[in-house]
Amino acid sequence: MPVPERMLSRIAESLFWMARYMERAEDTARILDVNYHMLLEQSQQTYRLRWEPLVNISGEQERFFQLFTLATTETVFQFLGFHEENPNSIAQCIYRARENARTIRDRISREMWQDINSLYHMVSRFRAEEEIAVGPHRFCSTIKFGSHRFHGVSDDTLPHDEGWQFLQLGRALERAEMTARIVDVEYHNLVESLMPDEKPDNHQWMAVLKSVAAYEIYRRQYHSHIDPERVAELLILHPQHPRSIRFNVATIQTSLRAITGSAPGYYINEAERLIGKLHQSLMYDRIEEIFERGLHNFLTDLQKTCREIGYQIARTYFYY
Amino acid sequence: MLQGYDLGEYYDEMFEAPGVARPHYRKVMDGVGKLAPVEFEDRRQLADLAFLLQGITFTVYSDGRGTERLFPFDLIPRVLPRSQWDKLEAGLSQRVLALNLFLEDVYGAQRILKDKQIPRSLVLSCKHFQREMIGVKVARNIYTHISGIDLVRDSKTDEFLVLEDNCRTPSGISYVLENRLVMTRTFAKVFETCEVMPIDHYPMELINILRSLAPRGTSNPVVVLLTPGIYNSAYFEHSFLAQQMGIELVEGRDLVVDNEIVYMKTIRGLTRVDVIYRRIDDEFIDPLSFRRDSLLGVSGLMGAFRAGNVALANAIGNGVADDKAIYAYVPTFIKYYLGQDPILRNVDTYLCSKEDQLKYVLENLDKLVVKAVGESGGYGMLIGPAATKEKIEDFRAKLIEDPRNYIAQPVIGLSRCPAYDPRTGKMAGRHVDLRPYCLFNGEKVIIVPGGLTRVALEPGSLVVNSSQGGGSKDTWVLRGET
């Protein structure tokens, strides 16, 4: 067997960010799509209330209110879907994912490049006004399936070497953080802000589950009406659901190990140490314990750790 | 599609008389020329889509975000019979050998200057003459590993002339290879009947040359392609070639020089680099030696090169050989270094640095093409017969102020080839040139048959550069005469 080449830092970084942007686009599309359809069935009053949390999930409240005064279907879709001044809008994410692909097109497969390039051209052809008029579904499913195809094509055409591991890292890190934000924002919005005599709204929790493709699995697992604590358990601790935090933390650990060659229980860099520690706690924590300590604090810490891991990966592999 | 095609007063590559294709074009005529307009349009759109999806575009940065344009591709191939190509190949080989010997001499013993075959002041005043290169020993004495020689066919004599030499970082070969790929898909049948010589060995020939330059006695040298990055208009070509050759595509920020050795930054630390196929211009390649404000280059690269620890292709300082005033002396080089008569003729050239020639040029500005000597890409040029009075006067002032910087040539009636005009939906004659890509391995010159045929898509235009509205065609060299 030939000796494996050493991968350029810049290429590893581009792979990492390409996957991250693609995931960000997909997650945003999922949240938009599901919420829109759920809200169609709500009263006008809740309708308004419910758009703002979506902006919060994207972490772009400040920018949003610089551009718009009110969070409505149109403004939020415009902002999260297309807006050029929102660096995390879906269109911008696809543009960046493709720019990253462009800088390494000699290193990814021809199929992968053509796929992401044609997704980009497809997205550039969407016109915000037209899409707002027909509703987000058409646009969002293009993105969703574009992202699925991206992963399918890369899994099937790239060698599963270090470069591929960096793709996994980018995707899993983004997804873990996104799920943490969804649980955090929605829990606050749907449970903690309730009046004493109000009951949590089943439809809205269903929407949360659907936005991370977890509705069916919830039904099978819990056979019950929707209980916010169980939703949190599923999204944070489920070992097999591909969008749960624990699942993605496990993926990050596996990919880091594949790169470093560390044996279980050992680490050779800070990113590896942090992910090991986090994974350990997610493996053995019970959801009740997390609630006792405070869900919001738990999720805030978790997001902080994710960011630190991202930083440590960059320090170790991209900018030493 | 070709009914009513007007031959005009120029040499037509395809037709010898109205409705009568030249012998080497007859099969193309049968296959492509007889397509119904609807069928032709279908294939044209398929071809365009293939280029777009593969991202075979060049980037125009005018709106901040960068617009990608397709380099327009015309479906009618440029066909050359074998005998014509053989002569071009011999002429190009001779020319490249002479240019390489000139570079070796001018940065070495300077025999040609001592023998007064070319004015010393003309050579030393070249914008691209690099003093840093004097006395530098380059790997295997190769300077022009890759050169692109621009040829045009003069309608007066039907003969190919050399219009200019590009010995620095000529681009376009990726279009040659991709055009061919799209053509074989779009017109598989026609292609099959024509017996066209293959070109897809180019990346292999190039990588062999690059590997042979490695300074260390290693069986597995690290070769990289250095690009200015995705904002460069030729970025597609850089990544394409890196991929085809299976080498790393690097940017300046990926490389560091330590103790006159070049390394690239990998996720497992620094890896030594042996050979760099650089697609960054001399001025930007090393901020320590050339332009200090360059963010694209690698500090200390020139030092590593001089020390012989890394090979560069092409060498630094090649611009002295493709300066448009030096061009006039290339036939002299061929005689002086090779003792041969030039196989391919130059276009007559007036050096404005010579007083009598400047006088003639100034008197005939409205009839001549004037070019700045160090420019390329169709910039800094005056086409007298097509220019406004203001532009002519503007150039007159420039010529008087800085005569060394200009040459003039008679307007050459470039041959034409049918090309599709989307505005009329018909074929029309458009002027073409030809840029073959010549590889030099230290012993012989290797040229993949054909090259890039560029076509001026604007009616009547003589400027074929992509930045000025030019497109391209696939170039077919036939195995035989028909």
Report domain extents, chain B. 15-215+310-343+412-477, 348-410
Q: What is the pLDDT of residue B79?
A: 97
Of A7, A106, A118, the CB nearest to B249: A106
**Closest to A185 (Cα-Cα) out of A201, A208, A219, A202:** A208
A6·B271 Cβ contact <8 A: yes
Which 3 state secondary structure label does DSSP give A158?
Answer: coil
- Contacting B with CB below 8 Å, chain A residues are 5-10, 12, 99, 102-107, 110, 113-114, 117-118, 121, 162, 259, 317-318, 320
- The predicted-structure confidence for B142-192, as pLDDT tens digits, reads as follows 999 999 999 999 999 999 999 999 999 999 999 999 999 999 988 988 888
Among chain B residues, the shortest Cα distance to A12 is held by B267
The reply to whether A136 and A274 lie within a common domain is no
Could you tell me if residue A239 is inside a domain? yes
- Is B65's pLDDT higher than 70? no
- Tell me the one-letter amino acid at A245: I
B53·A12 Cβ contact <8 A: no
**Closest to A188 (Cα-Cα) out of A177, A200, A196:** A200
Q: What is the mean pLDDT of residues B326-345?
A: 97
- The predicted-structure confidence for B435-466, as pLDDT tens digits, reads as follows 999 999 999 999 999 999 999 998 888 888 77
CB count within 10 Å of CB A183 equals: 26
* Chain B contact probe: residue of A3, A5, A10, A16 with most B CBs at under 10 A: A10
Structure token digits, residue A98: 């493709």
Could you tell me if residue A53 is inside a domain? yes
| Class (C level, CATH) for B348-410 | alpha beta
Chain B positions in Cβ-Cβ contact with residue A107 (cut-off 8 Å): 243, 249
Q: Which of A158, A184, A209 is the last residue of a domain?
A: A158
Phi, psi angle pair for B475, to nearest 5°: -110, 125
The reply to whether A26 and A126 lie within a common domain is yes
The reply to whether A11 and A150 lie within a common domain is yes
Q: Where does residue B293 rank: exposed (0-12), middle (13-18), buried (19+ CB within 10 A)?
A: exposed
Cα–Cα dist B344/B151, whole Å: 9
For residues A23 and A170, is the Cβ–Cβ distance under 8 A? yes
- The predicted-structure confidence for A86-95, as pLDDT tens digits, reads as follows 999 999 999 9
B254·A118 Cβ contact <8 A: no
Structure token digits, residue B22: 């030249």
Chain A positions in Cβ-Cβ contact with residue B248 (cut-off 8 Å): 5, 8
B266·A6 Cβ contact <8 A: yes
The reply to whether A12 and A127 lie within a common domain is yes
B235·A102 Cβ contact <8 A: yes
Of A6, A107, A117, the CB nearest to B55: A117
Q: What is the dihedral of CA A263, A264, A267, A270, to 10 degrees?
A: 140
Could you tell me if residue A163 is inside a domain? no
CB count within 10 Å of CB B134 equals: 12
The reply to whether A146 and A199 lie within a common domain is no
Chain A positions in Cβ-Cβ contact with residue B265 (cut-off 8 Å): 8-10, 320
* Chain A contact probe: residue of B235, B267, B271, B272 with most A CBs at under 10 A: B267
Q: What is the mean pLDDT of residues B69-82?
A: 92
- Is B139's pLDDT higher than 70? yes
The reply to whether A193 and A272 lie within a common domain is yes
Could you tell me if residue A310 is inside a domain? yes
Q: What is the pLDDT of residue B464?
A: 83
A105·B243 Cβ contact <8 A: yes
Instruction: Give the distance from residue B52's alpha carbon to the nearest chain A alpha carbon, in angstroms.
Output: 8
Cα–Cα dist B252/B145, whole Å: 21
Q: What is the mean pLDDT of residues B58-78?
A: 75
Chain mean pLDDT for chain B:
92
Of B229, B240, B267, the CB nearest to A9: B267
The reply to whether A152 and A176 lie within a common domain is no
Q: What is the mean pLDDT of residues B56-73?
A: 70
User: What does DSSP assign to residue B385?
Assistant: G
The reply to whether A194 and A268 lie within a common domain is yes
Chain A positions in Cβ-Cβ contact with residue B250 (cut-off 8 Å): 8, 10
**Closest to B102 (Cα-Cα) out of B63, B70, B57, B147:** B147
Q: Which residue has the higher pLDDT, B314 or A50?
A: B314
Q: What is the pLDDT of residue A48?
A: 60
For residues B227 and A10, is the Cβ–Cβ distance under 8 A? no
Structure token digits, residue A50: 């419910």
**Length reported for chain B:** 482
| B340-379 per-residue burial string, b: 16 or more CB within 10 A, e: under 16 | eebbbebbebbbbbbeebbeebbeebeebbbbbbbebebe
Residue A259 belongs to what domain range? 172-320
pLDDT over 90 percentage in chain B: 76
**Does the CB of B253 have a partner CB in chain A at under 8 Å?**
yes
For residues A117 and A105, is the Cβ–Cβ distance under 8 A? no
CB count within 10 Å of CB B412 equals: 19
Q: Which of A134, A158, A182 is the last residue of a domain?
A: A158
B453-456 and B470-477: which strand pairing?
antiparallel
Query: Is residue B467 very low, low, confident or very high in pLDDT (cuts 50, 70, 90)?
Result: low
Instruction: Give the distance from residue A30's alpha carbon to the nearest chain B alpha carbon, in angstroms.
Output: 26
Tell me the count of A-B CB pairs closer than 8 A. Answer: 62
Cα–Cα dist B28/B190, whole Å: 6
* Chain B contact probe: residue of A7, A8, A100, A115 with most B CBs at under 10 A: A8
Of B55, B240, B254, the CB nearest to A8: B254
Chain B positions in Cβ-Cβ contact with residue A318 (cut-off 8 Å): 267
**Does the CB of B70 have a partner CB in chain A at under 8 Å?**
no
Query: Is residue B281 very low, low, confident or very high in pLDDT (cuts 50, 70, 90)?
Result: very high
The reply to whether A147 and A197 lie within a common domain is no
Q: Which of A125, A158, A191 is the last residue of a domain?
A: A158
The reply to whether A184 and A84 lie within a common domain is no
- Comparing A254-258, A262-266, B150-154, B331-335, the range with the smallest average pLDDT is A262-266
Instruction: Give the distance from residue A283's alpha carbon to the nearest chain B alpha carbon, in angstroms.
Output: 30
B55·A113 Cβ contact <8 A: yes
Q: What is the mean pLDDT of residues B311-324?
A: 95
Domain count, chain A: 2
The reply to whether A224 and A315 lie within a common domain is yes
- Is B400's pLDDT higher than 90? yes
The reply to whether A144 and A268 lie within a common domain is no
Instruction: Give the distance from residue B296's alpha carbon to the nearest chain A alpha carbon, in angstroms.
Output: 15
- The predicted-structure confidence for A175-197, as pLDDT tens digits, reads as follows 999 999 999 988 887 887 777 77
Chain A positions in Cβ-Cβ contact with residue B269 (cut-off 8 Å): 6, 320
